[in-house]
Amino acid sequence: MSITIDPPQPQGQGQYPLSALMPSTIKEFANQSDYVAKTGKPVPAYNPQLPVKRWIDSSVPAGTFSSLTYNTAHLDPSGQRPIVTQISVPGFLAGQVNILPDSGPIAPSPAGELLVPIRALLPNEILIANPFGISVCNTDIYNPNAPAGATPTSGGGFTDADRATANSTLALVTAIAGAMQLKV
């Protein structure tokens, strides 16, 4: 049994945008015009009582009512530290958007905004704040938190011992999931 990472980690890049962690089943839209251009469908009416939601999860079947849990990332209140949190979205909302109108009077949503989902970070990935928001670093290649002169095998990133631990944990979880007939 193997685990598919969706999306896969960008190869050879020390730093990449947070959007590189967005699963392939998630489609994001900048605004209502972008939604129409990408889907060819009219935009559902904006409902200010619901959170703003600029994405859909195409893997969720219509009529799903159970809640789905997604990872998201945002900056802490100081704007200095990225935080990964989980959000719970009712299934019927996962496949629809609630996008602010492109023009005209806009009533802000008291419920805020549901941020775009990302996949779980890999053991050699960290999030960093930058002037444009959040980036992802592959610590095998680049680690902004490493001491000066450190290399990945000298404590500046994901080491061979870390990789061995991660692989043995993966083997254990896979064996347990197989014994329980779960899909990992």
- Span 15-36, pLDDT tens digits: 999 999 999 999 999 999 999 9
| 166 φ/ψ angles, rounded to the nearest 5 degrees | -60, -40
Higher pLDDT, 156 or 109: 109
Per the prediction, the chain carries an average pLDDT of 84
Residue 65's pLDDT band (cuts 50, 70, 90): confident
Residue 72's pLDDT band (cuts 50, 70, 90): very high
Weakest mean pLDDT among 6-15, 113-122, 128-137, 140-149: 140-149
State pTM to two decimals.
0.72
Q: What separation in angstroms does the CA of 52 have from each of 4, 23, 109? A: 30, 20, 7
Can you give the chain as a three-state secondary structure string?
Answer: CCCCCCCCCCCCCCEEEHHHHCCCCEEECCCHHHHHHHHCCCCCCCCCCCCEECEEECCCCCCCCCEEEEEEEEECCCCCCEEEEEEEEEHHHHCCCECCCCCCCCCCCCCCEECCCECCCCCCEEEEEECCEEEEEECCCCCCCCCCCCCHHHCCCCCHHHHHHHHHHHHHHHHHHHHCCCCC
* Structure tokens given for 62: 């219509």
Report, as an integer, the average pLDDT of 75-101. Answer: 91
Higher pLDDT, 180 or 139: 139
